[in-house]
Amino acid sequence: MRIDPSDTTKLVPDLAESYEVSEDGLTVTYKIKSGVKFHDGGDLVIDDVVFSINRIRNPPTGINSPRKNTFSNIAEVEAADANTLKVTLKQPQADFPYLVSNPFNAIYPKRIAEPLDAEGVGMKRQIVGTGAFKLARAVDGQLYELVRNDDYFGGAPNLDGIQFFPIPGEIERSVALRGDRVDACFLFSSQAVISDLKKAEGLVVGDALTPTFVNLISNVLKKPFDDPRVREALSLAIDRTAFINTVGPLSGANFHSLGLLPPGSPYALTEEEVKQFAGYDTIPGLGGDIEANRARARELLKEAGVEPGYQLKLPTRGDLPVFRDSSINVAAQLNTIGFDASVEIMDVGAFVARELAGEFEVLVHSIAVAGALPDIILGDAYTSFGYRNYGKWKDDSIDALFRAQSGEADPEKRKELIRQQQLAFLGTYYHINMAWVGFGFAHTDRLKGWTPSNDGFSNMQMDKVWLES
């Protein structure tokens, strides 16, 4: 299935014509379309679907699977017949159909992927799927070119092809758009750039909250950040209103929430619940005393044996303001409580390698997820087994709360369990939430049939898009 672009709370048919959830919530059955062909002309068979889902949940040696833990509730995936996929869950999971519909969960041909996986290469260069467009050319950092798939099961798309150009700078992207070099651009975070684009003729411009948040993350395997007093001191040091006012206009980090879920979430905590956690009273509108917070932070550091002048280097990637500028701001705020903090700016590859290897003490990360469902956000970033657990913490009680809310069918009971997980996690200061991010997009008004989704990932098939002459 795929996310409905007009209503992100609904699913519409894609490779599957339909799905059903059993009365006990433990079995999800999908009807797969007949006659589907891969980009190389080979037929898609049910074993390819089984293989692809199992490949995500149990990746081969040497193959990284960011969504492995998203599928940790699956007990078994099997073919009931030539066009029927049966997924058995360990416990009921209301969000499961949406987790499977994450657009990153591609279906690959087993006959191609399996031997490449055995070599430790994976599907990095042989991109063979069933989508509306086929990869024709890739020049890393310069150009990625797609051509129309005339055998697409949803009907041949309108466009002959699509060219993607990586353009790092927002101003450069806006110039390319105005100069008819490109038809559409993403990831505008600067309010100044977005404002100028909105004044230009012939453009459609939008900016909105995305399921992306900025967290300060401690590596709990590194002393002194294994000490909860030190992590609490970090939270006390951060003036969240000042962070949003300073970094927000450049990075898009303009939003705040009460708790761990997006602003406006039905699972939001109350102001009083949030204010009980150190430093969160500086969220806009909550009236916290930052100077009193920082005085308390210095006391906690002294109790934990952290001497003034402790040198702290925050690694960050230099390509996106939401990483770079957030890190610079946080380093300055940490210096107010006695740290000697600075920022080490590096390229994306080096940053990701350091982060995944745990070669850091503290870092700022902008975490983007595909969708705003509780199981996606709480499972990915706020469980021990989540892919975003960069700080290497372990807490069985929080993991148990996640699994309990995920499997609860009663909406009110589930809401209470989600509340409990948020409260439990906020008190650990493993991740310190600072802001939510909004990214803008812009495209020419001759680009028709397409509305970018607020998560930046869904509705990217482009199969119904056309250019008006």
pTM of the model: 0.86
> What CATH code is assigned to 2-118?
3.90.76.10
Q: How high is the mean pLDDT in each 10-residue block of the chain (469 residues)? A: 82 95 96 96 97 94 84 95 97 92 91 93 88 93 94 94 91 92 88 90 85 93 97 98 94 92 93 97 96 98 97 93 94 98 94 92 88 87 91 96 93 96 97 91 93 76 92
Torsion sign (Cα): 170, 171, 175, 176: negative
Pair 297, 217: CB distance under 8 Å:
no
pLDDT at 190: 84
**CB atoms near residue 206 (< 10 Å):** 17
Report how far apart, in Å, the C-alpha atoms of 291 and of each of 131, 234, 359, 466 are.
55, 14, 32, 55
Alpha carbons within 13 angstroms on the beta-carbon side of residue 163 total 8
Nearest CA-CA partner of 155 in 466, 468, 469: 466
Would you kindly state where each structural domain of the chain is located, as residue ranges?
2-118, 132-166, 210-438
pLDDT at 90: 95
pLDDT at 53: 96
pLDDT at 6: 76
Residue 397 CA, distance from chain mean position: 24
Nearest CA-CA partner of 437 in 257, 205, 195, 270: 257
Pair 406, 73: CB distance under 8 Å:
yes
Name the class of domain 210-438: alpha beta
pLDDT at 209: 65
